[in-house]
Amino acid sequence: MPERRTLAPHERPGWMPATDEPGHPLAALDGESMAGGRLQVRLGPASRFGARYFVVLLDPDGGQPLLTGLHHSGPLPSYNWVEVAETNEAAAGADGLRRLFELLLSVLPPGGHLMVEYDSAQRAETAQALARGVPAIATPLGELLLSIGCGAKFKDWQIAEGGSEGPRKLQAYKPPSEEHARRWRREAVQDLRAFLNSAGRDASEPVSAARRRAQELLPALERD
């Protein structure tokens, strides 16, 4: 008797192609080209908070999952968000993950937010830097989120409220207006300058790398 294959979560009942719900924001990602293939998006059941589970797959590479997360939408900008719970950097590559984050940000309206976990081994430097008081924007993950179009404002979910919100994550915002974006950049400049003035006491590699990153970010933030 052949051995029964264990179904991946997105293959189980309750999951469907995003194209079956053409009005869903994530359906816009289905069919996008990446790494010699095309993306497939599957939607899952809703969480107890009303957010929808989803997975982004790469076809024709055996439908390999590249990213899993949650999507929520609502009438107010702040009700619209995406949480990235897990990424497969080995399959997507750094450039592929950047493109995925850009695509996810594109489906959010101004004022929405994108959250990305930093509990995984691939984001250990971000976790170490944040634990040492480095401004989020000067971490590898913060710099990446800024570079894809998020504003210079972050919230660190270092300790999930209530203990049921999943892994530690960094939350970045899609600016609701250019005025907000400019104000956030000014505030980020102040935070980075304060960090650079005090970071000399910590010679650890995560802080030293963050100091170099902050020095590179400041000219562009000040110019804008």
Q: What is the mean pLDDT of the chain?
A: 90
The per-residue pLDDT for 165 is 62
How many CB atoms are closer than 10 A to CB 166? 15
Cα 189–chain centre separation? 22
DSSP codes of every residue in 1-17:
-PPPPPPPGGGSTT-EE
Find out whether 223 and 152 touch, Cβ atoms under 8 Å: no
- Please state at what angle helix 140-147 crosses helix 89-106, rounded to 10 degrees: 50
Which CATH fold topology does 9-176 show?
A: Aminopeptidase (3.40.630)
Could you report the per-residue pLDDT of 29-72, keeping only the tens digit for each?
999 998 778 999 999 999 988 999 999 999 865 578 999 999 99
Among 74, 184, 152, 167, smallest CA distance to 121 is for 167
DSSP labels, 47-106: -TTSPEEEEEEEETTTTEEEEEEEEE--SSGGG-EEEEEEE-HHHHHHHHHHHHHHHHHH
Residues in contact with 160: Cβ distance below 8 Å, sequence separation at least 6, in sequence order: 166, 168
Taking CA atoms, 156 is separated from 80, 131, 181, 184, in Å, by 18, 10, 19, 16
Position 2 pLDDT exceeds 50:
no
Question: What pLDDT is recorded for position 6?
Answer: 46
Residue 14's pLDDT is 77
Taking residues 119-135, what's their average pLDDT? 96
Q: Tell me the percentage of the chain whose pLDDT exceeds 90.
A: 78
Residue 203 is predicted with a pLDDT of 83
pLDDT at 9: 66
∠ CA 197-146-125, nearest 5°, is 65
pLDDT of residue 64: 81
Quick check: 68 and 35 in contact, CB under 8 A? no
Q: What is the pTM of this model?
A: 0.91
The structural domains of the chain, with segments of one domain joined by +, span 9-176
